[in-house]
Amino acid sequence: MFRLDGKSVAVTGAGSGIGKATALLMAQQGATVHVIDLNEEACASTAGEILHDGGMAVSHVCDVTVQETVQDVFQNISRIDILVNSAGISHVGNIENTSEQDFDRLYNVNVKGVYNCLKAAVSLMKPNKAGVIVNLASIASSVGLPDRFAYSMTKGAVAAMTLSVARDYLGEGIRCNCISPARVHTPFVDNFLKKNYPGQETEMFDKLSKSQPIGRMAKPEEIAGIILYLCSDEASFITGCDYPIDGGFIRLNT
Return the ∠ at Cα 69 (arms to 65 and 70), rounded to 5°.
70
d(CA 225, CA 218): 12
Which residue out of 107, 115, 151, 197 is catalytically annotated?
A: 151
Run of H or E residues at 61: strand 56-61
Find all residues with CB under 8 Å of 101, minimum gap 6, and list them: none
DSSP 164-198: HHHHHTGGGTEEEEEEEE--B--HHHHHHHHHHST
Q: Which amino acid is at 209?
A: S
Count CB neighbours of 75 within 10 A.
11
151 given a catalytic annotation: yes
The b/e string for 128-141 (b: 16+ C-beta within 10 A; e otherwise) is: eeebbbbbbbbbbb
DSSP label of 241:
-
Q: Are 101 and 121 contacting, i.e. CB atoms less than 8 angstroms apart? A: no
Q: How many Å separate Cα 100 from the centre of its chain?
A: 24
Q: How many helices (H) and strands (E) does the chain have?
A: 10, 7
Active site residues: 151
